[in-house]
Each structure stands twice: as C-alpha cells, then as structure tokens.
Amino acid sequence: MMTKKSRTEKRSRSGAQTECPICKKMLRGAKGMKMHMDERHAGEGQKAKAGA
C-alpha cells in the first residue's frame, strides 16, 4: 500500500527549492525569500537565525 505524501513533501511544480525557516513554505529563491520574510515574518527573522 502506498502512503500519501503530505502537502509539504510533494515536489513543487513552481520549482521552489528554498524553504522558509519559520513556516516551512517553499519559495523559488533569495528574492522571493526576502519578500516573504518582509511581508509575513517582519521581526521574526532574527529569532529564526538565533535559534539556528
């Protein structure tokens, strides 16, 4: 019996390869990551870097 892959385990059709360290969203590159961090995680980036 095949196990169903979770949404985050599926291969991205957009070519996203960079994972957000906070919410695990897959993004396409550094520019997309910067925009995502600025829009969704303003102020949280330092916490993620300190914990890593």
Could you read off the pLDDT of 14-35 as tens digits, one per residue? 777 889 999 999 998 999 999 9
Task: Establish if 29 belongs to a structural domain.
Answer: yes
Residue 32, burial from CB neighbour count under 10 angstroms (0-12, 13-18, 19+): middle
Structural domain of 25: 14-43
Q: Flag whether 6 is in a domain.
A: no
Q: Which residue has the higher pLDDT, 35 or 11?
A: 35
Q: Report the C-alpha gap between 16 and 22 in whole angstroms.
A: 16
Q: Could you tell me if residue 1 is inside a domain?
A: no
pTM of the model: 0.56
Residue with tokens 């916490």: 47
Decide if 2 is inside a domain: no
pLDDT at 23: 94
What is the total count of domains within the chain?
1
Looking at 1-52, list the stretches that DSSP marks H as alpha helix, in order from N- to C-terminal side. 30-40, 45-51
Position 49 in a domain = no
